[in-house]
Structure 1
Amino acid sequence: MRKQPREHVKQSFALVLLVVLTVGAIAGPTGLLAWAENSEVLAEREARIAMLSDKRDALKNRVDLLDPNGADPDLVGELVRKDLGVIHPDEIVVTLEDE
Protein backbone atom coordinates (compact mmCIF):
# COMPACT_ATOMS: atom_id res chain seq x y z
CA MET A 1 0.00 0.00 0.00
CA ARG A 2 2.94 2.35 0.50
CA LYS A 3 3.98 2.13 -3.15
CA GLN A 4 0.72 3.51 -4.46
CA PRO A 5 1.07 7.04 -3.03
CA ARG A 6 4.64 7.23 -4.30
CA GLU A 7 3.60 6.13 -7.76
CA HIS A 8 0.74 8.62 -7.66
CA VAL A 9 3.19 11.45 -6.77
CA LYS A 10 5.58 10.37 -9.55
CA GLN A 11 2.78 10.26 -12.10
CA SER A 12 1.44 13.65 -10.97
CA PHE A 13 4.90 15.17 -11.22
CA ALA A 14 5.37 13.69 -14.70
CA LEU A 15 1.98 15.04 -15.77
CA VAL A 16 2.75 18.55 -14.46
CA LEU A 17 6.14 18.48 -16.20
CA LEU A 18 4.50 17.36 -19.45
CA VAL A 19 1.91 20.17 -19.21
CA VAL A 20 4.62 22.78 -18.54
CA LEU A 21 6.67 21.59 -21.51
CA THR A 22 3.60 21.60 -23.75
CA VAL A 23 2.63 25.13 -22.72
CA GLY A 24 6.23 26.26 -23.32
CA ALA A 25 6.22 24.67 -26.77
CA ILE A 26 3.02 26.48 -27.71
CA ALA A 27 3.19 29.84 -25.93
CA GLY A 28 6.89 30.18 -25.10
CA PRO A 29 9.33 32.65 -26.66
CA THR A 30 10.25 30.13 -29.36
CA GLY A 31 6.86 28.40 -29.47
CA LEU A 32 4.23 28.12 -32.13
CA LEU A 33 2.53 31.41 -31.24
CA ALA A 34 5.80 33.33 -31.48
CA TRP A 35 6.51 31.83 -34.91
CA ALA A 36 4.15 34.21 -36.75
CA GLU A 37 5.53 37.23 -34.91
CA ASN A 38 9.08 36.17 -35.70
CA SER A 39 8.13 35.77 -39.36
CA GLU A 40 6.79 39.34 -39.46
CA VAL A 41 9.92 40.70 -37.79
CA LEU A 42 12.05 38.76 -40.26
CA ALA A 43 10.15 40.22 -43.22
CA GLU A 44 10.57 43.76 -41.85
CA ARG A 45 14.29 43.25 -41.32
CA GLU A 46 14.76 41.78 -44.78
CA ALA A 47 13.03 44.84 -46.28
CA ARG A 48 15.31 47.13 -44.25
CA ILE A 49 18.36 45.16 -45.37
CA ALA A 50 17.29 45.54 -49.01
CA MET A 51 16.80 49.31 -48.55
CA LEU A 52 20.17 49.68 -46.84
CA SER A 53 21.86 47.58 -49.53
CA ASP A 54 20.47 49.90 -52.22
CA LYS A 55 21.69 52.92 -50.27
CA ARG A 56 25.11 51.32 -49.81
CA ASP A 57 25.34 50.59 -53.54
CA ALA A 58 24.46 54.21 -54.37
CA LEU A 59 27.12 55.48 -51.98
CA LYS A 60 29.68 53.04 -53.39
CA ASN A 61 28.90 54.30 -56.89
CA ARG A 62 29.39 57.88 -55.72
CA VAL A 63 32.71 56.98 -54.08
CA ASP A 64 33.85 55.23 -57.26
CA LEU A 65 32.99 58.37 -59.26
CA LEU A 66 35.16 60.43 -56.90
CA ASP A 67 38.25 58.25 -57.40
CA PRO A 68 41.29 60.57 -57.33
CA ASN A 69 42.81 58.87 -60.39
CA GLY A 70 39.82 59.58 -62.61
CA ALA A 71 37.03 61.55 -60.97
CA ASP A 72 33.83 62.16 -62.91
CA PRO A 73 33.94 65.82 -63.98
CA ASP A 74 30.18 66.30 -63.71
CA LEU A 75 30.10 65.04 -60.11
CA VAL A 76 33.15 67.10 -59.17
CA GLY A 77 31.53 70.21 -60.65
CA GLU A 78 28.31 69.49 -58.79
CA LEU A 79 30.11 69.08 -55.48
CA VAL A 80 32.20 72.23 -55.95
CA ARG A 81 29.10 74.28 -56.71
CA LYS A 82 27.16 72.76 -53.83
CA ASP A 83 29.82 72.89 -51.12
CA LEU A 84 31.74 76.03 -52.09
CA GLY A 85 28.94 78.02 -53.65
CA VAL A 86 30.99 78.65 -56.80
CA ILE A 87 28.51 79.72 -59.48
CA HIS A 88 28.99 81.93 -62.50
CA PRO A 89 26.61 84.88 -62.69
CA ASP A 90 25.01 83.55 -65.89
CA GLU A 91 24.36 80.03 -64.55
CA ILE A 92 21.03 78.71 -63.35
CA VAL A 93 21.17 76.02 -60.68
CA VAL A 94 18.35 73.54 -60.31
CA THR A 95 18.58 71.50 -57.12
CA LEU A 96 16.84 68.17 -56.68
CA GLU A 97 15.92 66.75 -53.28
CA ASP A 98 17.78 63.58 -52.32
CA GLU A 99 15.62 60.58 -51.51
Structure 2
Amino acid sequence: MYIVGSAIVPATTRQRKKSFLRRLIIPSVATAVLAYFGFHALNGEFGLVGRARIEREVADLQSQLDVLVAERQELTARVSLLRPESLDPDMIDERARLNLNLTQANELTILRPRVLQQQH
Protein backbone atom coordinates (compact mmCIF):
# COMPACT_ATOMS: atom_id res chain seq x y z
CA MET A 1 0.00 0.00 0.00
CA TYR A 2 1.07 3.46 -0.78
CA ILE A 3 0.25 6.67 0.99
CA VAL A 4 -0.60 9.46 -1.38
CA GLY A 5 -1.37 12.69 0.43
CA SER A 6 -3.65 11.63 3.24
CA ALA A 7 -5.19 8.58 1.38
CA ILE A 8 -3.97 5.04 1.37
CA VAL A 9 -3.92 3.53 -2.15
CA PRO A 10 -3.56 -0.23 -2.67
CA ALA A 11 -0.65 -1.35 -4.80
CA THR A 12 -2.02 -2.39 -8.23
CA THR A 13 1.16 -2.48 -10.20
CA ARG A 14 1.79 -6.09 -9.37
CA GLN A 15 1.02 -8.33 -12.36
CA ARG A 16 -0.07 -11.93 -12.18
CA LYS A 17 1.59 -14.51 -14.32
CA LYS A 18 -0.90 -15.88 -16.92
CA SER A 19 -1.61 -19.56 -16.53
CA PHE A 20 -0.61 -22.05 -19.21
CA LEU A 21 -4.24 -23.12 -19.83
CA ARG A 22 -5.39 -19.54 -20.26
CA ARG A 23 -2.90 -19.09 -23.10
CA LEU A 24 -4.37 -22.08 -24.96
CA ILE A 25 -8.03 -20.93 -25.00
CA ILE A 26 -7.93 -18.72 -28.12
CA PRO A 27 -5.74 -21.04 -30.23
CA SER A 28 -7.84 -24.09 -29.31
CA VAL A 29 -11.10 -22.27 -30.15
CA ALA A 30 -9.61 -21.09 -33.46
CA THR A 31 -8.40 -24.62 -34.24
CA ALA A 32 -11.86 -26.04 -33.47
CA VAL A 33 -13.54 -23.49 -35.76
CA LEU A 34 -11.07 -24.18 -38.57
CA ALA A 35 -11.54 -27.95 -38.15
CA TYR A 36 -15.33 -27.55 -38.29
CA PHE A 37 -15.28 -25.50 -41.48
CA GLY A 38 -12.56 -27.68 -43.01
CA PHE A 39 -14.59 -30.84 -42.39
CA HIS A 40 -17.70 -29.34 -43.98
CA ALA A 41 -15.69 -27.98 -46.90
CA LEU A 42 -14.71 -31.56 -47.71
CA ASN A 43 -17.72 -33.62 -46.64
CA GLY A 44 -20.60 -31.15 -46.63
CA GLU A 45 -23.51 -31.17 -49.06
CA PHE A 46 -21.72 -28.70 -51.33
CA GLY A 47 -18.15 -29.71 -50.38
CA LEU A 48 -15.66 -31.54 -52.56
CA VAL A 49 -17.26 -34.95 -52.02
CA GLY A 50 -20.75 -33.51 -52.45
CA ARG A 51 -19.71 -31.76 -55.63
CA ALA A 52 -18.53 -35.05 -57.13
CA ARG A 53 -21.90 -36.62 -56.23
CA ILE A 54 -23.76 -33.71 -57.80
CA GLU A 55 -21.65 -33.96 -60.98
CA ARG A 56 -22.42 -37.72 -61.20
CA GLU A 57 -26.13 -36.99 -60.85
CA VAL A 58 -25.91 -34.32 -63.55
CA ALA A 59 -24.19 -36.79 -65.90
CA ASP A 60 -26.86 -39.47 -65.21
CA LEU A 61 -29.68 -37.01 -65.75
CA GLN A 62 -28.04 -35.71 -68.93
CA SER A 63 -27.85 -39.25 -70.34
CA GLN A 64 -31.53 -39.81 -69.46
CA LEU A 65 -32.38 -36.53 -71.16
CA ASP A 66 -30.47 -37.55 -74.29
CA VAL A 67 -32.42 -40.85 -74.46
CA LEU A 68 -35.74 -39.05 -74.01
CA VAL A 69 -34.88 -36.41 -76.62
CA ALA A 70 -33.99 -39.14 -79.15
CA GLU A 71 -37.23 -41.00 -78.35
CA ARG A 72 -39.23 -37.78 -78.75
CA GLN A 73 -37.59 -37.03 -82.10
CA GLU A 74 -38.41 -40.54 -83.30
CA LEU A 75 -42.05 -40.16 -82.25
CA THR A 76 -42.23 -36.72 -83.85
CA ALA A 77 -40.92 -38.18 -87.11
CA ARG A 78 -43.49 -40.99 -86.98
CA VAL A 79 -46.32 -38.54 -86.26
CA SER A 80 -45.25 -36.33 -89.16
CA LEU A 81 -45.66 -39.37 -91.46
CA LEU A 82 -49.31 -39.64 -90.38
CA ARG A 83 -50.21 -36.05 -91.22
CA PRO A 84 -52.66 -35.69 -94.13
CA GLU A 85 -50.29 -33.55 -96.21
CA SER A 86 -47.51 -36.16 -96.09
CA LEU A 87 -49.05 -39.62 -95.87
CA ASP A 88 -46.58 -42.48 -96.13
CA PRO A 89 -48.14 -45.63 -97.65
CA ASP A 90 -45.97 -47.92 -95.54
CA MET A 91 -47.03 -46.15 -92.33
CA ILE A 92 -50.71 -46.37 -93.31
CA ASP A 93 -50.29 -50.08 -94.07
CA GLU A 94 -48.53 -50.69 -90.73
CA ARG A 95 -51.20 -48.87 -88.71
CA ALA A 96 -54.08 -50.55 -90.59
CA ARG A 97 -52.63 -54.04 -90.05
CA LEU A 98 -52.07 -53.31 -86.37
CA ASN A 99 -55.53 -51.88 -85.75
CA LEU A 100 -57.52 -54.24 -87.98
CA ASN A 101 -55.45 -57.34 -87.23
CA LEU A 102 -55.02 -58.17 -90.94
CA THR A 103 -52.25 -59.95 -92.86
CA GLN A 104 -51.51 -60.81 -96.47
CA ALA A 105 -51.87 -64.38 -97.80
CA ASN A 106 -48.10 -64.78 -98.31
CA GLU A 107 -47.13 -63.57 -94.80
CA LEU A 108 -46.34 -65.67 -91.77
CA THR A 109 -48.35 -64.81 -88.65
CA ILE A 110 -47.09 -65.60 -85.17
CA LEU A 111 -49.78 -65.50 -82.54
CA ARG A 112 -48.75 -64.59 -79.00
CA PRO A 113 -51.11 -65.00 -76.06
CA ARG A 114 -52.27 -61.78 -74.50
CA VAL A 115 -51.84 -61.26 -70.80
CA LEU A 116 -55.19 -60.25 -69.41
CA GLN A 117 -55.11 -57.59 -66.73
CA GLN A 118 -56.83 -58.50 -63.54
CA GLN A 119 -59.79 -56.35 -62.67
CA HIS A 120 -59.74 -54.75 -59.28
TM score, norm. by length of structure 2: 0.60
Structure 1 gap segments, 5+ residues each: none
Of the three residues 65, 86, 102, the one matched with 1:49 is 65
Report 1:19-98 matches (<5 A).
19-88=35-104, 90-92=105-107
Rounded to whole Å, the distance in 2 between the matches of 1:8 and 1:41 is 45
Larger Rg: 2
% same residue: 25
Rounded to whole Å, the distance in 2 between the matches of 1:69 and 1:93 is 33
For these two proteins, the number of residue pairs brought into alignment is: 92
The structure that is strand-richer by fraction is 2
The structure that is helix-richer by fraction is 1
Change (3 A) 1:18 1:45: same
Change (3 A) 1:31 1:21: same
Q: Deviations over 1:22-69 (max 9, x none)?
A: 111111011112222222222222221111111111011001111123
Rounded to whole Å, the distance in 1 between the matches of 2:34 and 2:108 is 74
Deviation of 1:82 after TM superposition, in Å, equals: 1.2
TM score, norm. by length of structure 1: 0.71
Alpha carbons 2:81, 2:88 under 8 Å: kept = yes
My pick for the range that moved more, 65-74 or 51-60, is: 65-74
RMSD between aligned alpha carbons?
Answer: 2.8
